[in-house]
């Protein structure tokens, strides 16, 4: 097959990166798209207690095994399958199991720090920063973490104030400067998807 096109979707937590990736995959056909969440590459800390993990800074670049993700993208671009980690957000642990990812025409990587690391940025043919107002990002994060990750609203808000917002200012927002394209995702996801879809199709063709 032709070398996969790799696209990185960065932006703050709750900006709508995963939703945009899902819409792109649906529009292009799931059989043509491989989606990889940067969150899957959170480092495991087997010697750390659950109480300590509750206070862990998951929004700092050091929390992610970015070097493994870079290796995996190189393998995929070379046409070889990789074993992607599975992260359990309820327990803050990496699962023993992995999932087999086969290379496809388009490889989409989404994560808050997808454009923050120079080596990772070099893996992408297109670098996109998804933007949304802070109040909307917090609202979306709250809804996701409570319904999908078993979190309490209080813990989500505490984490946001303690680590999410400071790390956004220090690492996420500055990575906007490395984007080829900044997309505003405040309301009409379909419109944002169509805009990006046109560019992605150019790259695939």
Model confidence over 33-53: pLDDT tens digits?
999 999 999 999 888 887 787
Cα–Cα distances (Å) from 21 to 9, 36, 83, in that order, read 8, 9, 20
For 103-146, how does the pLDDT look when each residue is reduced to its tens digit (9 = 90+)?
Answer: 999 999 999 999 999 999 999 999 999 998 998 888 888 888 88
pLDDT in the model for residue 108: 97
**Cα–Cα dist 3/5, whole Å:** 7
pLDDT tens for 166-204 read: 999 999 999 999 999 998 887 677 788 888 999 999 999
Domain 5-204 homologous superfamily, CATH: P-loop containing nucleotide triphosphate hydrolases (3.40.50.300)
What is the C-alpha to C-alpha distance for residues 190 and 205, in angstroms, rounded to an integer? 22
State the pTM of this model: 0.89
Query: What distance in Å separates the CA atoms of residue 140 and residue 92, rounded to the nearest whole number?
Result: 20
Between 82 and 158, name the one with better pLDDT. Answer: 82
Query: Domains of the chain: which residue ranges?
Result: 5-204
Percent of residues, the chain, with pLDDT higher than 90: 61
- State the pLDDT at residue 69: 98
Is 90 exceeded by the pLDDT of residue 63? yes
Average pLDDT in the 145-160 region?
Answer: 81
Residue 169, SS3? helix
| DSSP-derived pairing of the beta strands 106-110 and 5-10 | parallel
Task: Please answer whether residues 39 and 111 qualify as being in contact, where contact means their C-beta atoms are separated by less than 8 angstroms.
Answer: yes
Please tell me the least confidently modeled range out of 26-35, 70-79, 154-163, 186-195.
186-195
Measured between alpha carbons, how far is 35 from 54 in angstroms, rounded to an integer?
28
The pLDDT of residue 56 is: 84
State the pLDDT confidence band at 1, using cuts at 50, 70 and 90: low
């Amino acid at each position: 097959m032709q070398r996969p096109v790799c696209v990185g979707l960065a932006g703050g937590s709750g900006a709508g990166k995963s939703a945009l990736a899902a819409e792109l995959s649906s529009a292009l056909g799931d059989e043509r798209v491989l989606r990889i969440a940067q969150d899957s590459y959170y480092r495991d800390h087997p010697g750390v207690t659950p109480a300590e993990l509750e206070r862990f800074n998951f929004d700092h670049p050091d929390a992610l095994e970015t070097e493994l993700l870079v290796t995996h993208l190189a393998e995929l671009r070379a046409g070889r399958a990789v074993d992607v980690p599975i992260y359990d957000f309820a327990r803050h642990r990496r699962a023993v199991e992995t999932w087999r990812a086969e290379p496809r025409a388009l490889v989409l990587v989404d994560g808050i720090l997808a454009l923050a690391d120079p080596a990772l940025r070099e893996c992408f043919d297109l670098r996109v920063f998804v933007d949304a107002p802070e109040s909307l990002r917090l609202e979306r994060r709250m809804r996701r973490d409570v319904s999908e990750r078993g979190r309490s609203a209080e813990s989500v808000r505490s984490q946001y104030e303690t680590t999410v917002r400071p790390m956004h200012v220090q690492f996420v927002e500055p990575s906007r400067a490395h984007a080829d394209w900044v997309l505003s995702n405040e309301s009409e996801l379909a419109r944002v998807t169509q805009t990006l879809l046109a560019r992605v199709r150019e790259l695939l063709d």
